[in-house]
């Protein structure tokens, strides 16, 4: 693709992604704009400004050497130790952040117009800095979705539990005690696919992939079994009913300590009332859908469920092998659904709906028979987030390198809030094992 066409494509992508950001801004309650609702997060208003700051920083300041338009706001919206999260409550009001996003976008487009995309400079080549900014904005859109959900939960909870009248809740569907449950033995026999194993190329050398996806390298995977679908709400309800949270044998020593300190007895955002399980989403409180993948669970919970079911979490190589490799042809797809980016239209992603779709409605089986390995919920693996051989931090240390400490675990596959451009089969996400405020689920292996 020549430079003019590439620049046109970048502009179209920038416009498409920013339109989604603008829709998310409209969902934010003024009272929560500059309020911290969880230790893990900055105020939600800060994230919008950070999107503009990051775009300007990489496309203007770093790629072309142009100073930022506003040094004070560049500092306030920077994710650096010198600007701790408690300082970020001083974010300007909604209208000022909107103007800042418009101004930084204007400067980014002017920089793109002046840039030589055929340069050997890695920030300029094929528009790397602009693509980096695009992917960064997509990732923060998902973070904003997480914050909107946390805000809704804070709005519902008080010292006595659930605030508001019963009419707040959607009570459609059967009562909890009328559900059909699966015993651990039946869960162990639930649909699993036999993955033959083999040698495949893990990771990617894609120019616009993140540093932690590189370098592509050969990995041998032994034959294994994998759940055809993610673990569902119905499965998790049985785990709860069977005393899964109270049975110490299900939990690692670290998991037991996490339970003791948190008092967790169900996934994040689950609420219980009058024998029903509800889910607190940013769109309101609804009955949990038994057929959707369970969401917002920590690595400790995922590990405990797998032990209880007589299974285990898949390794990261097993997950990528099953998601993208065809053992018969030896071909590895770019995405879990295939090589055509347009295939994302059939995937549960891009916050088309506020929550994951039912497992039965998800994508058709791939080459090994696995379904729904893109979108819906991120899936925990048993693998710590560590560098591949040949890893080089780029364009800065803070994105990947600083988290490669063995204390984070890899998640794969994306969620209902993930933009399609992030759903490449080599993309790696990671969190500490106690984290569960994201759209995190699982599937088991054996």
Checking if the pLDDT of 289 tops 50, the result is: yes
Q: pLDDT band for 190, please (50, 70, 90 cuts).
A: low
Q: Region 206-211: what's the mean pLDDT? A: 97
Measure the CA angle with vertex 352, ends 348 and 357; round to 5°. 40
Q: Is pLDDT of 174 > 60?
A: no
Q: Where are the domains of the chain?
A: 3-161, 167-441
User: Does the pTM of the predicted model rise above 0.85?
Assistant: yes
- Reported confidence tier of residue 186, pLDDT bands at 50, 70, 90: very low
Residue partners of 233: CB distance under 8 A and separation at least 6: 277, 288, 289, 290, 291, 292, 293, 294
- Mean pLDDT value of segment 227-235: 96
* Cβ atoms 226, 195 nearer than 8 A: yes
What pLDDT is recorded for position 445?
98
The domain defined by 3-161 folds into 1.20.120
Give the pLDDT band of residue 246 (cuts 50, 70, 90).
very high
Tokens of 311: 């299974």
What is the DSSP-derived secondary structure letter of residue 251? S
The sign of the torsion formed by the CA atoms of 357, 358, 359, 365 equals negative
Over residues 256-266, the mean pLDDT reads 97
- CA-CA-CA-CA dihedral for 357, 445, 251, 355, to nearest 10: -10
Q: What are the structure tokens assigned to 405, written together? A: 């400490």
Q: What is the pLDDT of residue 196?
A: 96
| Length of the chain in terms of residues written | 446
Confidence class for position 140, pLDDT limits 50, 70, 90 = very high
pLDDT at 178 over 50: no
- Euclidean distance between CA atoms 229 and 117, whole angstroms: 42
Assigned token pair, 231: 């673990």
Q: Rounded to whole angstroms, how far apart are CA atoms 207 and 58?
A: 16
- Of the pLDDT bands very low, low, confident and very high (cuts 50, 70, 90), residue 374 is very high
- Contact residues for 162 (Cβ-Cβ < 8 A; gap 6+): 156, 168, 271, 273
Mean of pLDDT over the chain: 92
Q: What is the arithmetic mean of pLDDT over 198-207?
A: 97
For CA atoms 291, 176, 238, 281, the dihedral sign is positive
**Range with the poorest average pLDDT among 44-48, 51-55, 144-148, 183-187:** 183-187
The answer to whether 3-161 and 167-441 have equal CATH topology is no
Rounded Cα–Cα distance for residues 348 and 354 (Å): 10
Which tokens is 256 given? 């037991």
d(C-alpha 375, C-alpha 114), whole Å: 36
pLDDT over 70 (residue 166): no
Question: pLDDT value at position 168?
Answer: 41
Which CATH class name applies to 167-441?
A: alpha beta
Percentage of the chain modeled with pLDDT above 70? 92
| Structural element, H or E, at residue 145 | helix 128-156
Is cis: bond before 202, omega within 30 of 0? Answer: no
Tell me the chain's radius of gyration from C-alpha atoms: 22
In 26-127, which ranges are continuous DSSP H helix?
Answer: 44-56, 63-64, 71-76, 94-114
Mean pLDDT of 181-203: 76
414: left (phi over 0), alpha (psi -120 to 50) or beta: left
Q: Can you tell me the distance from the alpha carbon of 50 to that of 137, in angstroms, rounded to the nearest whole number?
A: 9
Bond preceding residue 195 cis, omega within 30 of 0: no
pLDDT for 157 equals 64
Q: What is the pLDDT of residue 415?
A: 97
CA 157, 159, 162, 163 dihedral sign is negative
User: Mapping DSSP to helix (H, G, I), strand (E, B) and coil, where does residue 338 land?
Assistant: strand
Band of residue 360 on the pLDDT scale cut at 50, 70, 90: confident
Please report, to the nearest 10 degrees, the dihedral formed by the alpha carbons of residues 148, 150, 155, 161 taken in order: 150
| CA distances in angstroms from 147 to 29, 41, 51, 435, listed in the order given | 11, 8, 15, 14
- Mean pLDDT value of segment 72-91: 97
Asked whether residue 176 carries a pLDDT value surpassing 60, the answer given is: no
pLDDT score of 154 more than 70:
yes
pLDDT band at residue 412 using 50, 70 and 90 as cut-offs: very high
**pLDDT tens-digit map of 93-120:** 999 999 999 999 999 999 999 999 999 9
Q: What are phi and psi of 113, to 5 degrees?
A: -60, -35
- pLDDT at site 151: 93
Higher pLDDT, 345 or 184: 345
């Amino acid at each position: 693709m020549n430079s003019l066409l590439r620049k046109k494509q970048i502009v179209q992508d920038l416009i498409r992604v920013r339109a989604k950001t603008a829709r998310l801004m409209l969902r934010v309650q003024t009272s929560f704009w500059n309020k911290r609702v969880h230790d893990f997060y900055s105020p939600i208003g800060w994230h919008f400004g950070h999107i503009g700051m990051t775009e300007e920083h990489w496309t203007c300041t770093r790629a072309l050497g142009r100073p930022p338009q506003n040094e004070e706001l560049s500092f306030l919206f920077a994710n650096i130790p010198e600007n701790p999260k408690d300082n970020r409550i001083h974010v300007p009001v909604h209208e000022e952040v909107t103007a800042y996003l418009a101004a930084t976008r204007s400067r980014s487009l002017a920089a793109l117009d002046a840039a030589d995309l055929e340069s050997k400079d890695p920030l300029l080549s094929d528009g790397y800095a602009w693509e980096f900014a695009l992917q960064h904005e997509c990732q923060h859109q998902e973070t904003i979705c997480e914050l909107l959900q946390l805000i809704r939960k804070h709005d519902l909870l008080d010292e006595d539990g659930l605030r508001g009248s019963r009419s707040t809740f959607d009570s459609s569907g059967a009562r909890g005690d009328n559900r059909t449950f699966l015993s651990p033995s039946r869960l162990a026999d639930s649909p699993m696919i036999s993955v033959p194993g083999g040698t495949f190329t893990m990771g990617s050398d894609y120019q616009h992939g993140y540093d932690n996806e590189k370098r592509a390298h050969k990995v041998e995977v032994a034959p294994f079994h994998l759940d055809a679908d993610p673990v569902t709400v119905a499965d998790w309800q049985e785990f709860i009913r069977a005393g899964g949270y109270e049975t110490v044998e299900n939990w690692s020593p670290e998991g037991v300590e996490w339970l003791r300190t948190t008092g967790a007895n169900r996934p994040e955002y689950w609420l219980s009332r009058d024998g029903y399980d509800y889910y607190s989403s940013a769109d309101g409180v609804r009955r949990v859908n038994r057929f959707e993948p369970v969401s917002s669970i920590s690595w400790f919970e995922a590990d405990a469920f797998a032990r209880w079911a007589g299974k285990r979490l898949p390794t990261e190589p097993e997950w990528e092998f099953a998601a993208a490799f065809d053992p018969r042809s030896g071909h590895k797809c770019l995405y879990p659904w295939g090589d055509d980016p347009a295939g994302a239209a059939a995937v549960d992603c891009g916050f088309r709906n506020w929550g994951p779709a039912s497992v039965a409605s998800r994508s058709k089986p791939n080459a090994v028979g696995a379904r729904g390995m893109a979108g819906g919920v991120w899936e925990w693996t048993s693998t710590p987030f560590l560098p591949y051989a040949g890893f080089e931090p780029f364009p800065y240390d803070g994105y990947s390198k600083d988290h490669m400490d063995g204390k984070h675990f890899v998640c794969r596959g994306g969620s209902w809030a993930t933009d399609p451009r992030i759903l490449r089969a080599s993309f790696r996400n990671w969190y500490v094992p106690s984290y569960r405020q994201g759209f995190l689920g699982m599937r088991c292996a054996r």
